[in-house]
Amino acid sequence: METGPANYEQETINPEHPEGLKIKVIIPHLVYLRAYKHDPVKYENLRGAKEVLENPKRIFWGIREHNDGGWCYTGIPKKLYIKQSNAVDFPDGKVFAVYINPGLQVFDWTVEYADENDTMCPKDWKERYKSLIWKNIS
C-alpha cells in the first residue's frame, strides 16, 4: 500500500482539558506545502508555531464568528523569520498566534500585535474570540 505525504503531528495542551493529558494537533501536509511553495517566510515561521504549541501562554476558544469552536494558542517564540534565511529575536509588543480548527488541525500561524493589558494576548482579543479558556501562570 502506498502512503502519501505526511501530516506533521505536534503534542500540545488539550484545550478541552488543559490540566489533563496532552493531545496531538495536526499540521496538514497541504497547509505546510502551500506555505513552502507560496510564502517561504511563513514556512520558516512554522518553527515559531511549534514552540508556541509546545509552550503556550494563552488558549482562546471561539475564534470564528460564524463557526463554532476552534482555538488560538499564543506565546512568544525565540525567533521570528523576517526573510527566508534571516531570523531576528521575537519583537516586543507582538505575540505569535497559532490557529486550530475544531478537528484539531492547524490552519494558520501569524504574528499579531499584543494587547496592552496582557502581552500574551492578541490585541482586541475580547472582541475577536468568545473566551480565554486557559492561561499559563508560571
Please answer whether residues 99 and 107 qualify as being in contact, where contact means their C-beta atoms are separated by less than 8 angstroms. yes
Dump pLDDT digits (tens) for 46-65.
999 999 999 999 999 999 76
DSSP code of 125? Answer: H
The pLDDT of residue 5 is 79
Residue 87 has pLDDT above 70, yes or no: yes
Full-model pTM: 0.94
The pLDDT of residue 102 is 94
Dump pLDDT digits (tens) for 106-128.
999 999 999 999 999 999 999 99
Q: What is the average pLDDT value for the chain, to the nearest integer? A: 94
Dump pLDDT digits (tens) for 4-31.
679 999 999 999 999 999 999 999 999 9
Q: Of 97, 48, 94, nearest to 70 (Cα)?
A: 97
Please answer whether residues 132 and 125 qualify as being in contact, where contact means their C-beta atoms are separated by less than 8 angstroms. yes
The pLDDT of residue 69 is 83
Our measurement of the distance from residue 103's CA atom to the centroid of its chain's CA atoms, rounded to an integer in Å, reads 14
